[in-house]
Structure 1
């Protein structure tokens, strides 16, 4: 089945760069959007439309005639609340409301483990774990998951919320459990798009890691079957990192460094993320 029109927000971001080509192949028209001036060379069937998520009229203009929206646009770090309010909170409302008004069927949302980041990894939480955000950033993910639930209950707008753990190169011990490879990311998003009926759904974005700290079994109907396993990196990572501090919430909680930083302080600054964005 080929969709008439899909919308991708956050297309200029690292994860968005890997989603553009497979999404373009699934539809007649892919409208990629971000606040950047351009995103370089476009794929067949793709066009770029700049839009600020905090501005409803700009978001609504993206949605005209859309079948589904893949919403990856946001500030992807902890910041003071007022800096996140526009893009991460108001932006989510704008996406859902504009999608509903345009008659779209579904929103696929890049949620995050940070919605439940203060849960301990040893608890092996499932998709029904109560919200326990580690930051204002995580709180925005909780807000949007609840927003999606409400729009399904009240307006029958479907949504799939992808609680991504860590989609980045494996260079620390936390990532041995939390890694989501780019190939598995693509599979995760495409299954969220092409599954016939999803209602309101939550699923963890994590690869088939031996040390995965979450339980995805209740979301198996979405058809996501990850292939990659971070264990291939374990010997090197563990030798380089050495023993961890078991009193450190950054080691013990799902949120990693985000569980440790003060509210409003960058979590990304505590991490070593390689910017291996896909080039067109």
Structure 2
């Protein structure tokens, strides 16, 4: 295709996506709040931009065929910060997409849109939202906006409810929730090259034996994950204490985000628990 716009290009996941996306388009425009990023592809340009700035987003999306929208605060934070980057940023992307005739938006949603469901409940793509934080609520908002813009304007959207995207599996929760970087790339590629998607929700997890989600309704995307967290299970379980069934951080899909006070960092809590 002619032009893809990637938001959040300086983040951990955006960094993984830049080269694969550059290979899928004549032009890749990468954007984030960082002053610059290294290793630009020959057909890639970088533009520093705040997604909360409507005029900047409008300029970015001019001529784009698809947007891969990974730009946002990726953690729980005070509502005012989430409002600017995640709520307003998503609105600006969809509004600019409608004005410029963008065909499809591939959106980095999150498991935290469903984070308060107990892990004993296998969740599918049709169940109601149950967010665990302001961050999760922002993902619900963007998913519902994506559905509305599909119904009103025919802008396709694939909402990727990413669970635990990382390198090697690091804890017992990730035995079900892990999304390897290779499978992340495949998921985004299939979200782009599938001929017709309409409005679709799909969970971002690898081919884990212990996966707690049901992706059958999105099987038409052709996403067939190859990595399996079970390869790490023996070593991880040997060093993991017995789970407390009364602890929502262990018993809810959102993990520690299910227990942190609203507005306080879930990532900081995870790091603290890893050290203790």
Shift of 1:83: 1.1
* Inter-partner Cα distance in structure 1 for 2:194 and 2:154: 16
Using the alignment, how far apart are the partners of 1:53 and 1:25 within structure 2?
A: 25
Could you tell me how far apart the structure 2 residues matched to 1:99 and 1:262 are?
A: 35
Query: How many residues are paired up?
Result: 271
Give distance in 1, aligned partners of 2:127 and 2:42: 40
Per the alignment, residue 154 of structure 2 pairs with 156
Structure 1 residue 272: Cα displacement: 4.1
Q: SS state of the match for residue 150, structure 2? A: helix
CA distance in 2, matches of 1:59, 1:15: 20
Shift of 1:44: 2.1
Q: Distance in 2 between matches of 1:89 and 1:218?
A: 27
8 Å Cα contact 1:171/1:272 also seen in 2: no
Distance 1:272-1:235 versus aligned 2 partners, 3 A rule:
farther
Q: Distance in 2 between matches of 1:232 and 1:78?
A: 30
Cα distance in 1 for partners of 2:230, 2:241 equals: 16
Q: 1:135 aligns with which of 119, 133, 141?
A: 133
- TM-score, structure 2 length as denominator? 0.97
Check if 1:36 corresponds to 2:34.
yes
Number of the residue aligned with 2:68: 70
| Alpha-carbon distance in 2 for matches of 1:87, 1:270 | 22
Aligned to 2:24: 26
Structure 2: how far apart are the matches of 1:125 and 1:29?
37
Structure 1 unaligned segments of length 5 or more: list them. 274-280
The aligned counterpart of 2:122 is 124
Query: In the alignment, which residue of structure 2 is the partner of 1:249?
Result: 248
1:16 to 8, 14, 17: 14
Normalised by the length of structure 1, the TM-score is 0.95
Q: State the SS of the aligned residue for 1:126.
A: coil
Tell me which residue corresponds to 2:203: 204
Q: Distance in 1 between matches of 2:64 and 2:157?
A: 14
Q: Which digits, 9 at most, give the CA deviation of each residue in 1:224-264, with x for residues without a partner?
A: 00000001111111111221111101111100010111111
Cα distance between partner residues in 2 of 1:218 and 1:104:
25
* CA RMSD between the two structures: 0.9
CA displacement, residues 30-68 of structure 1 (integer Å, 9 cap, x when unaligned): 000001000112012111011100000001111010000
Corresponding position of 1:278: none
Q: Which runs of 4+ in 1 moved over 3 A?
A: none
CA contact (8 A) 1:160 1:198 kept: yes
Single out whichever of 34-43 and 132-141 deviates more from structure 2.
34-43
Unpaired runs of 5+ residues, structure 2, are: none
Q: Residue 166 of structure 1 is aligned with which of 164, 167, 175?
A: 164
> Is the 1:30–1:45 contact (alpha carbons within 8 Å) kept by the matching residues of 2?
yes
